[in-house]
């Protein structure tokens, strides 16, 4: 489908469009001049992860199309937690921990993708605690509660699935969708925001805000969602056996971030190039046409471009150089993850089983033993066959010891 607005055309070409509350009206509105849109992020950790990248890129392209993006930090809703598709109520966070998370997210996860400032199209960061914390409960119920029916709230997938699994859903969590709907109304009042975006699992919450704007203030608001990305085996993008793929380099090194993209499934390369790089569609189409072993070249481009987008060109170049040295030249890359050990421990010898766990290659000694039995464990590229093997100072190669589990997992043991 072809749109009149640059923004919707870009999203269409890059696979970001799933649902919209009114395509034609939104398309026309985007052609009238600078508009404002937002996506909400709950500050439950000091980093976003790859699962948040779709929203990041939607805001990026919104700004590149000449509009103003808002990153809404859920300082208020974060105290409740989104019940969507979860089995347990989220652990409550203190005001101090929420603010610390917001500060970390601003520096490490947003400024790489958006330009903030005072200009007409500069991004704006807003905290919904500014208005939610001041609400008087009875007045809020009187003024806005009448616009939400329990019948409809129970019909949303996020709630239905929770109830079908017979998982408790507290009144606190049930209020989340009401709070999110009010956020949209408040952002329209304060900043003229006309569009909320998010993943397809947020559709119900977004539509609540669209409806509330119409009923409370008689304003036309819009909702737009992107399809959720899943791996070929049906899992959500953004998690590995080792945990979340964080965007904060203090929580996941640029090299590990690069390797995540380098190792994606072949069938996903084209989709990920469109979603998470700024390459032209014509360049992407050339890479999508590669077959067989040539697809690895497309994966290298994806890994470099995605890492550059998140961590900058220098970090991407260093990660690519380390990967080439480790995988293509059989060397030791300086950007590999490190396992710090004491001089005393290394002198007496450290069990290989313990190092595999410390490096994140195994979650237990049983799993570490299976890795060794499978023949995938190496010290300085030499195969380890003895489960009782210890690593000592005798293995030092320069200032480090390279340990590996399979062909894709490597780390350097260094004296701290």
pLDDT of 107-119, one tens digit each?
Answer: 889 999 999 999 9
Q: Long-range contacts made by residues 99-107, C-beta under 8 angstroms, separation at least 24?
A: 99/75, 100/46, 101/43, 101/44, 101/45, 101/46, 102/43, 102/73, 102/75, 102/127, 104/46, 104/47, 104/248, 105/41, 105/43, 105/46, 105/47, 105/48, 105/73
Q: Are residues 49 and 120 in the same domain?
A: yes
1 within a domain of the structure (yes/no): no
pLDDT for res 7: 98
Q: Are residues 169 and 38 in the same domain?
A: yes
Rounded-to-integer distance, Cα 56 and Cα 52, Å: 6
Q: Which residues contact 125 (CB under 8 A, 6 or more apart)?
A: 70, 71, 73, 106, 110, 116
* Structural domain ending residue among the three candidates 304, 328, 352: 328
pLDDT in tens, 36-54: 999 999 898 899 999 999 9
The answer to whether the CB of 191 falls within 8 A of the CB of 130 is no
The answer to whether the CB of 200 falls within 8 A of the CB of 156 is no
Q: Are residues 48 and 118 in the same domain?
A: yes
Distances (CA, A) of 209 to 23, 202, 215: 17, 11, 10
pLDDT for res 226: 97
Q: Are residues 51 and 186 in the same domain?
A: yes
Active site (catalytic) residues: 44, 49, 52, 86, 90, 180, 201, 236, 239-240
Domain enclosing residue 317, as ranges: 253-328
pLDDT at residue 85 greater than cutoff 50: no
234 within a domain of the structure (yes/no): no
Burial class (CB in 10 A: 0-12, 13-18, 19+), 136: exposed
Q: Compute the average pLDDT of residues 211-237.
A: 92
pLDDT at residue 87 greater than cutoff 60: no
Burial class (CB in 10 A: 0-12, 13-18, 19+), 73: buried
236 within a domain of the structure (yes/no): no
245 within a domain of the structure (yes/no): no
The answer to whether the CB of 191 falls within 8 A of the CB of 97 is no
| Domain of residue 266, CATH code | 1.10.240.10
pLDDT at residue 27 greater than cutoff 60: yes
Rounded-to-integer distance, Cα 356 and Cα 375, Å: 14
232 within a domain of the structure (yes/no): no
Least reliable range by pLDDT among 14-28, 126-140, 213-227: 126-140
pLDDT at residue 241 greater than cutoff 60: no
pLDDT at residue 228 greater than cutoff 70: yes
pLDDT for res 154: 80
Q: Are residues 269 and 348 in the same domain?
A: no
Q: Are residues 37 and 185 in the same domain?
A: yes
Average model confidence (pLDDT) across the chain: 88
Q: Which residues contact 51 (CB under 8 A, 6 or more apart)?
A: 236, 237, 238, 239, 244
Q: Compute the average pLDDT of residues 122-143.
A: 90
pLDDT in tens, 361-390: 888 888 888 888 888 888 887 888 888 888
Compare 88 and 232 and report the one with higher pLDDT. 232
238 within a domain of the structure (yes/no): no
Structural domain count of the chain = 3
243 within a domain of the structure (yes/no): no
* Structural domain ending residue among the three candidates 287, 310, 328: 328
| Domain of residue 62, CATH code | 3.40.50.620
Of the spans 22-26, 106-110, 135-139, which averages the highest pLDDT?
22-26
Rounded-to-integer distance, Cα 389 and Cα 353, Å: 8
Q: Are residues 276 and 404 in the same domain?
A: no
Q: Compute the average pLDDT of residues 201-214.
A: 93
Residues 22-41, buried b or exposed e (16+ Cβ, 10 A)?
eeeebbebbeeeebbbbbbb
Indicate yes or no: pTM above 0.95: no
| Domain of residue 375, CATH code | 3.10.290.10
Retrieve residue 341's tokens.
């050990």
* Structural domain ending residue among the three candidates 191, 226, 261: 226
Q: Are residues 261 and 220 in the same domain?
A: no
Q: Are residues 384 and 319 in the same domain?
A: no
pLDDT for res 239: 65
Q: Are residues 91 and 214 in the same domain?
A: yes
pLDDT in tens, 294-345: 999 999 999 999 999 999 999 999 999 988 887 665 555 556 778 888 878 8
Rounded-to-integer distance, Cα 189 and Cα 389, Å: 66
pLDDT band at 148 (very low <50, low <70, confident <90, very high): confident
242 within a domain of the structure (yes/no): no
Q: Are residues 45 and 126 in the same domain?
A: yes
pLDDT at residue 84 greater than cutoff 70: no
Q: Are residues 135 and 77 in the same domain?
A: yes
């Amino acid at each position: 489908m072809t749109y009149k607005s640059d923004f919707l055309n870009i999203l269409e070409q890059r696979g970001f469009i799933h649902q919209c509350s009114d395509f034609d009206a939104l398309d026309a509105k985007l052609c009238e001049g600078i508009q404002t849109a937002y996506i909400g992020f709950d500050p439950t950790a000091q980093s976003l992860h790859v699962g948040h990248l779709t929203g990041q890129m939607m805001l990026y392209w919104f700004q590149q199309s000449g509009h103003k993006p808002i990153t809404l930090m859920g300082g208020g809703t974060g105290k409740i937690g989104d019940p969507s598709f979860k089995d347990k109520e989220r652990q409550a966070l203190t005001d101090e921990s929420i603010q610390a998370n917001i500060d970390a997210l601003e520096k490490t996860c947003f400024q790489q993708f958006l330009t903030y400032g005072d200009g007409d199209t500069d991004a704006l960061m807003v905290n919904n605690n500014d208005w939610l914390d001041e609400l008087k409960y009875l007045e809020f119920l009187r003024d806005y509660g009448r616009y939400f029916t329990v019948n409809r709230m129970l019909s949303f997938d996020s709630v239905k699935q929770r109830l079908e699994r017979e998982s408790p859903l507290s009144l606190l969590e049930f209020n989340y969708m009401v709070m999110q709907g009010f956020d949209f109304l408040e952002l329209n009042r304060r900043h003229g925001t006309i569009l909320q975006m998010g993943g397809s699992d947020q559709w119900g919450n977004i539509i609540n805000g669209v409806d509330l704007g119409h009923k409370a203030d008689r304003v036309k608001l819009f909702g737009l969602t992107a399809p959720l990305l899943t791996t070929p085996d049906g899992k959500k993008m953004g998690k590995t056996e080792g945990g979340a793929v964080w965007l904060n380099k203090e929580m996941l090194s640029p090299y590990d971030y690069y390797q995540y993209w380098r190792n994606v499934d072949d069938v996903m390369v084209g989709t990920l190039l469109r979603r998470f790089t700024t390459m032209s569609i014509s360049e992407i189409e050339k890479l999508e046409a590669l077959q067989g072993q040539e697809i690895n070249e497309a994966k290298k481009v994806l890994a470099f471009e995605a890492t550059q987008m998140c961590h900058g060109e220098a970090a991407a170049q260093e990660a690519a150089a380390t990967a080439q040295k480790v995988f293509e030249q059989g060397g030791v890359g300086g950007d590999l993850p490190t396992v710090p050990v004491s001089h005393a421990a290394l002198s007496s010898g450290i069990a290989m089983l313990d190092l595999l766990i410390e490096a994140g290659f195994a979650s237990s000694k049983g799993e570490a033993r299976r890795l060794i039995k499978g023949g995938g464990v190496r010290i300085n590229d030499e195969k380890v066959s003895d489960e009782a093997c210890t690593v000592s100072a005798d293995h030092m190669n320069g200032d480090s010891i390279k340990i590996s589990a399979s062909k894709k997992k490597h780390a350097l043991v260094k004296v701290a």
